[in-house]
Structure 1
């Protein structure tokens, strides 16, 4: 197990909610802002790497026909599966895997929504570039990519949040649909298509 995987495994073994994503209003609000920023009401296939204990996964499952989620920590994967099992119907359309990204990215799949939340700043610049390419190469023609990241310094951070998002902005293959910019976090929504929400709904030319 690589050092990052060991670190996260130990975190989730000590506490099933190490960042209090269930309890903190900050996290609840951020999650609702992310969901409200999605340009479509429903998605065919969502991919959420670094799913943690599955709080966002469960919310995405309500709006998706299929969700693929993953985490580098086996304990986080177990917690996500347990979280989903408690929901009515058990969210049978969700599959959860133990994966390290970008190395284990499912390159043979196609997603119309990819959500990268609170994980890209742990990567090296080389891995970040690979992550960006994986996202772009597995998005459908109208696919949407969301990045959401904490802005303050912390010990495990490898990259600055602004630099992470700028790497995706500079790709030349993505159109930014929305940005929510706060002192605490940065949320960006891009798509392979430049159509706005109103255009997707047929309200604007």
Structure 2
């Protein structure tokens, strides 16, 4: 039996126990991953970007200078105050609580970033998310996936989630870059 998507309560409990449970602000793994994430972006600027799973906003703050408008969302409310504080001087950033794919935002995006989030979803929610992404992707827009490739106790592994997501988007977007690092992978898709 497959595991269901992780609920917001799971993440709320993590953040109640530790305001930075994955050490986004201090780990070398995260710092290297953020550098590689930004280097993988094929354009210097994006008009409208969506970052799923923004957490405390470390990657959000690094991504913001490359976006005219950046909507950063997270399923948990607990980390969003830290994200707002970190991004307070970045007027192009909007931070909002949203459980994807259910609370999909309105608008079209020429960049969507899913870093360390897809494996929290079961297959049905991953398919629903792919449908939402396909509908909201601006023509020629980019989708960047970045996921841990080690063992997980989540509904999916990073490899399985990334492969399934890319396959679901194949009619609307093609993979233009696939990179593997020792502990994570990056997949860049371009809208057709």
**TM-score when scaled to structure 1?**
0.86
Partner of 2:160: 163
**In structure 2, what is the Cα distance between the partners aligned to 1:56 and 1:9?**
20
Q: Does 1:187 align with 2:186?
A: yes
The number of residues matched between the two structures is 186
Residue correspondence of structure 1 range 111-126 to structure 2 within 5 A: 111-126=109-124
For residues 10-53 of structure 1, what are the alpha-carbon distances to aligned partners after superposition, in whole Å with 9 as ceiling and x for unaligned? Answer: 21122221111111111100110010000000000110111111
Please say if 1:57 is aligned against 2:56. no
Counterparts of 1:77 and 1:111, CA distance in 2: 21
Indicate which of 20, 33, 38 corresponds to 2:36. Answer: 33
- Structure 1 residue 166 displacement after superposition: 1.6
CA distance in 1 between partners of 2:68 and 2:114 (Å): 19
The residue aligned with 1:20 is: 23
- Please give the root-mean-square deviation of Cα atoms over the aligned residues, in Å: 1.4
Q: Kindly indicate whether the alpha-carbon contact (under 8 Å) linking 2:144 and 2:186 is maintained by their aligned counterparts in 1.
A: yes
Where do residues 26-175 of structure 1 align in structure 2 (5 Å cutoff)? 26-85=29-88, 90-106=89-105, 108-155=106-153, 157-170=154-167, 171-175=170-174
| Structure 2 unaligned residues grouped into runs of 5+ | none
Give the distance between the partners of 1:73 and 1:169, measured in 2 at CA.
26
Contact 2:179/2:185, CA 8 A, preserved across alignment: yes
Q: Deviations over 1:51-90 (max 9, x none)?
A: 11101111111111100011111111111101112xxxx1
Q: Distance in 2 between matches of 1:62 and 1:72?
A: 24
Structure 2 counterpart SS, 1:13: helix
More off after superposition, 162-171 vs 58-67: 162-171
Partner secondary structure for residue 186 of structure 1: strand
Please report how far the alpha carbon of residue 3 of structure 1 lies from its aligned counterpart in structure 2 after TM superposition: 6.2
TM-score (norm 2): 0.92
1:124-144 deviation line (CA, Å, top 9, x unaligned): 100000111111110100100
Moved over 4 A (4+): none
Larger RCO (CA under 8 A, 6+ residues apart): 2
Provide the secondary structure at the position in 2 that maps to 1:145: strand
Compare CA radii of gyration and give the structure with the larger one. 1
- Classify the secondary structure of the residue corresponding to 1:75: coil
